[in-house]
Amino acid sequence: MIILLNKNQLASAKKFYIDYLVAKIPPYALFSAKKNGTTITGYLSGKVLFQGTNAETEGAALSKFFGLKSSETATTPPLANLSLLGSDEVGNGSYFGPLVVVATFAEEKMLPTLRKLGVKDSKMLKDPEIKEIAQQLMTILPYKTLVVTPKKYNEYQQKFNAVEMKVLFHHHVLTQLAKELPVKPAATLVDAFTTKASLTKYSKTHNLTWPQPFYFVEKGEQQHLAVAAASMIARKLFLDYLEQDGASLGLPLPSGAGAKSDLVAAEILRQGGLDLLGEHAKLHFANTQKAEKLM
């Protein structure tokens, strides 16, 4: 939960939590406090962030103190101009090829450069453009990748469902990159691939702690260039893998999960059966059964 305050109100909010203040505060913050299982952080921008089990209750109490209306609070603050850690994945909907998860860190000072390069939601660009821009991004941005090959994906799929896997993979690249950064990001943003309830469920199951402040929102590529950059790098790595894998197999591997994938899968089955197909495709897709029928 977020409450927006002016400069004077922010100073008063610090006094409001005088008995609960903690010594360590994040960058760009005026204060941080812990009360009733909730962490309250007041940023110099005027945003007061509530995180924890009683976030809504604490947020309502401070709102009441200042006489704020509900319309003056928000669940997600403006993020576009912050130094932000973001992640996205590509390949989830493709039968062939890997699942690629990428995290990037885009500092505020780098945002004009990213805009000039043409970084945006990868769905708005053609693949050749994405590959060209992504190649440049990989030389100027800190990033961390996880390329889950089809063979490894199929092994994970025996233990975890698709959403659970992505929770684990996003957490891995984000936390690994966060450890290597010389500065703490102002926030972390993940492009939402499931409901917040599912994210919370699997985070608890695997005891995962996400870099804070943490946001999980739909169309994350449009919220911040860090997520858009992660999406573009992931798309490039996915396409490169698909091309190289197809070349080694002697068959062009299509992206997606359409009828072309069924035909190619049927040919792979003819050449080496399900074991060979499992090295190149995500076997739990319905394409596997369709290819077997084509056989």
Q: Residue by residue, what is the 3-state secondary structure of the chain?
A: CEEECCHHHHHHHHHHCHHHECCCCCCCEEEEEEECCEEEEEECCCEEEEEECCHHHHHHHHHHHHCCCHHHEECCCCCCCCCEEEEEEECCCCCECCEEEEEEEECHHHHHHHHHHCCCCHHHCCHHHHHHHHHHHHHHCCEEEEEECHHHHHHHHCCCCHHHHHHHHHHHHHHHHHHHCCCCCCEEEEECCCCHHHHHHHHHHCCCCCCCCEEEECCHHHHCHHHHHHHHHHHHHHHHHHHHHHHHHCCCCCCCCCHHHHHHHHHHHHHHHHHHHCCCECCCCCHHHHHHHHC
**Is residue 271 in some structural domain?**
no
Is the same domain home to 109 and 193?
Answer: yes
Q: What's the confidence (pLDDT) of residue 76?
A: 57
- In the chain, the amino acid numbered 242 is L
Tell me the pLDDT tens digit for each residue of 174-197: 999 999 999 999 999 999 999 888
Over 50: is that where the pLDDT of 70 sits? no
Is the same domain home to 105 and 193?
Answer: yes
Question: Domain end: 49, 74, 99, which one?
Answer: 74
Is the same domain home to 238 and 96?
Answer: yes
Over 90: is that where the pLDDT of 67 sits? no
Lowest-confidence segment of 55-59, 82-86, 207-211, 276-280 by average pLDDT: 55-59
**What's the rounded Cα separation, in Å, for the pair 76 and 217?**
8
Question: Domain end: 74, 101, 126, which one?
Answer: 74
Residues 6+ apart with CB under 8 A from 152: none
Query: Rounded to whole angstroms, what are the CA distances from 119 to 87, 124, 187, 224, 279?
Result: 14, 10, 19, 10, 33
CATH number at residue 193: 3.30.420.10
Q: What's the confidence (pLDDT) of residue 283?
A: 96
What is the residue whose two structure tokens read 């990989």? 138
Q: What's the confidence (pLDDT) of residue 71?
A: 40
Is the same domain home to 90 and 191?
Answer: yes
Cα-flanking dihedrals φ and ψ of residue 132, to 5°? -65, -45
**Is residue 282 in some structural domain?**
no
Q: What's the confidence (pLDDT) of residue 270?
A: 95
CATH number at residue 25: 3.30.310.10
**Is residue 262 in some structural domain?**
no
- The dihedral of CA 209, 211, 215, 220: what is its sign? negative
**Is residue 139 in some structural domain?**
yes
**Is residue 38 in some structural domain?**
yes
Question: Domain end: 74, 96, 115, which one?
Answer: 74
Q: What's the half-sphere exposure (Cβ side, CA atoms, 13 Å) at 258?
A: 4
Is the same domain home to 127 and 237?
Answer: yes
Mean pLDDT, residues 35-55: 88
Provide the residue range defining the domain that includes 158: 84-243
Is the same domain home to 100 and 52?
Answer: no
Tell me how crowded residue 110 is: count the other CB atoms within 10 A of its CB.
18
**What's the rounded Cα separation, in Å, for the pair 233 and 87?**
10
**Is residue 257 in some structural domain?**
no
**Is residue 254 in some structural domain?**
no
Is the same domain home to 28 and 112?
Answer: no
Is the same domain home to 233 and 103?
Answer: yes
Number of domains the chain is built from: 2
Tell me the pLDDT tens digit for each residue of 117-162: 999 877 788 999 999 999 999 999 999 999 999 999 999 999 999 9
**What's the rounded Cα separation, in Å, for the pair 182 and 17?**
30
Which has the higher per-residue pLDDT, 95 or 196?
Answer: 95
Is the same domain home to 123 and 194?
Answer: yes
Is the same domain home to 113 and 215?
Answer: yes
Which has the higher per-residue pLDDT, 6 or 267?
Answer: 267
Cα-flanking dihedrals φ and ψ of residue 19, to 5°? -85, -5
Is the same domain home to 17 and 94?
Answer: no
CB 242 within 8 A of CB 96: yes
Q: What is the pTM of this model?
A: 0.76
CB 231 within 8 A of CB 121: yes
**Is residue 121 in some structural domain?**
yes
Over 90: is that where the pLDDT of 99 sits? yes
Is the same domain home to 19 and 150?
Answer: no
Q: Give the CA radius of gyration of the chain.
A: 22
